[in-house]
Amino acid sequence: MTALLARGNLAERVLRGPVLWSGLAGLTAFALGPFVWILLTSLKDHNELYATPLRYLPHHPTFENYVDAWTSPVTPFSRFFFNSLWVCSVTMVATTAVSVLAGYAIARFRFAGRDALLLIFLVTQMFPSVLLIAPLLAQWRALGLLDTYQALIYSNFSFTVPFTVWMMVGYFSSIPRDLEESAMIDGCSQFGALCRVVLPLAVPGIAATAIFAFVVSWSELLFAISFTSQTEMRTLSAGLLYMVGQYEVQWGPLSAGVIMSTVPVAVLFTFLQRHLIHGLTAGAVKG
C-alpha cells in the first residue's frame, strides 16, 4: 500500500493517474527500446542483417542464431552460462552476508576509526580496476588459482563488497534505533535484536544489495578474461566477446547471446523483487 499518493485531492489524483502512466510508459520504452532492436536482430539471418535500406522486422525470422550459439562447440554458451551462474551466485551470497554484518556494525556501533573505515571502503573503489590486473594475476598464480572459479569470485569481492557495505550502512541508518532498543529492553541481546527486529525491516535493502552483487558480477568482464584461459572456464560476458571478429561484429549470434544472458538475471530479479516490498512495521513504533 502506498501512502505517499493516497487517494485524495486533485493533485494526488493527477499524479497517480496520467503522470504515473506517462512516466511509466516513457521509462519502459526508453529501457526496452534497444532490447527490442537486439531481439529483432537475433532473429535475422545474415542477408537481412546487411540489407540496405535498414530493415526492422525480419521477413524470414529464424532461430539459427540461438541454436548456433547454444550448441556450437567453439563457443559453448551452455557452458559459459553455467560458469556465470555459479560464480555470480556465490559472489552474491557471500557478499550479502559479509556486508550485512559489516554494514550493521558500522551503522550501529560507535567506535574509533569508524569514519576513516567507511572512507577506506570507498577508497578501494577509487582505483581503476585495470591496474589491479597485473598484481592480482601474480597473486592468483602464486596461489595456483588461475582458471578456477575461486579466482573470479574473490576478485569480484573487490568491487562488490565496498559498495554493498556502504549500501547496507545506508539502509541500516535509515531504520530508527528505537526498534532495537525496545527489543533489548524487552530482554533481547544485540545480536538477537539484529535478527528479530532489524533484519526483517531491512529485507528490501538486503534484496537490493543481493541484486546489485549478482548483476555487477554477471556483467563483469575484465577479470574474467584476465584470470581464466580455458574456454570451459569462460563466463558469459567473455563468451559474448567471441562474437567480435577480426573485422566485423557478428551481430546475429551476439544478439542471441545477449538475449540468452539476460534471461537468468531477469528470472532471478522477478523472484527477488518480491522482497522489495513494504516492511512489516505495524505496531512496531510506539508512541
Partner 1 sequence: MTTVPVALTRRGMRPLLSARARRLLVGYAYLVPAALCLIGTVVVPIGMAIHMSLYNDVLYKPRDYHFIWLGNYARLAQDPVFWLTLWNSVVWVFGSVGFQFVAGFAAALVLHESFVGRSLARTVILLPWVIPGVVVGLLWEWLYQPNYGVINDILIRLDLLHDRVAWLSNPDLAMPAVVFTNVWRGIPFFAIMLLAGLQAIPGELYEAARVDGAGVLARFWHITLPLLRPIIVVATATRIIWTFNYADLIFVMTNGGPANATQITSTYTLLQAYSNLDFGYAAALSVVLLVVLLVFTAVFLRVTRGVEEVG
Partner 2 sequence: MNDRWLLSRRKLLHTLVGTGVIAAGDLGWWEAPFIAPRKAWAAQPVRFQWSVPEPTRIALMNSLVERFNQSQKDFEVRIEYVPQAQARQKLISSISSGSPPDLCQAWDNWIGQFHGMGAVEDITDRVKAWKHQADVQPTAWQTVTIGNQIVSLPLSLTLDAIFYRTDRLKELGLKEPTPDWTWDEFLKIAQAFTKADKNQYGYGMRGAGTWAVLYPSEFAYANGAQVLKDGKVVINSKEAIDAVAWYMDLALKHKVTPPSAATDGFVEIVETFGRGVTSMYQHNSGSVGQQKKNVGADKFATIPVPVGPAKKRATFYFSETLTAFKGGRNKEGAWQFMSFMLEDEPSFMYCKTLGLLPARKSIISRPEFAKDPALSGFVESFPFAIVSPYLAYPGWGGKIDSDGVPLIQQAILGKISAKECLDRFADVLRKEMT
91-120: contacts with partner 1 (CB under 8 A) = 97-99, 101-102, 104-109, 111, 117-119
Residue 12, Cβ neighbours under 10 Å: how many? 13
- Contact (Cβ atoms closer than 8 angstroms) between residue 227 and residue 155: yes
Using CB under 8 A, which of the segments 57-65, 75-83, 226-234, 236-244 binds partner 1?
236-244
Using CB under 8 A, which of the segments 29-37, 118-126, 130-138, 165-173 binds partner 2?
130-138
151 touching partner 2, by CB under 8 A: no
247 touching partner 2, by CB under 8 A: yes
211-240: contacts with partner 2 (CB under 8 A) = 222, 225-226, 229-232, 238
Dump strand ranges (E) for 32-119. Answer: none
- Contact (Cβ atoms closer than 8 angstroms) between residue 92 and residue 161: no
- Contact (Cβ atoms closer than 8 angstroms) between residue 99 and residue 202: no
249 touching partner 1, by CB under 8 A: yes
- Contact (Cβ atoms closer than 8 angstroms) between residue 152 and residue 224: yes
Residues in the chain: 287
CB 9 to partner 2: min, Å: 53
Q: What is the 3-state secondary structure (H, E, C) of 171-218?
A: HHHCCCCHHHHHHHHCCCCHHHHHHHHHHHHHHHHHHHHHHHHHHHHH
61-100: contacts with partner 2 (CB under 8 A) = 68, 72-75
Using CB under 8 A, which of the segments 63-71, 72-80, 180-188, 226-234 binds partner 1?
180-188
Using CB under 8 A, which of the segments 2-10, 44-52, 101-109, 198-206 binds partner 2?
44-52
**The three grid cell numbers given for residue 281, joined into one nine-digit string:** 512495521
Q: How many residues bind partner 1 (CB under 8 A)?
A: 118
163 touching partner 1, by CB under 8 A: yes
Residue 186 or 248: the one with the smaller Cβ distance to partner 2 is 248
What are residue 52's phi and psi, to 5 degrees?
-120, 145
**The three grid cell numbers given for residue 147, joined into one nine-digit string:** 582458471
**The three grid cell numbers given for residue 287, joined into one nine-digit string:** 508512541
* Cα separation of the two ends of the chain: 22
145 touching partner 2, by CB under 8 A: no
185 touching partner 1, by CB under 8 A: yes
Sites of contact with partner 2 (CB under 8 A): 46, 50, 52, 68, 72-75, 130, 133-135, 137-138, 141, 146, 222, 225-226, 229-232, 238, 241-250, 253
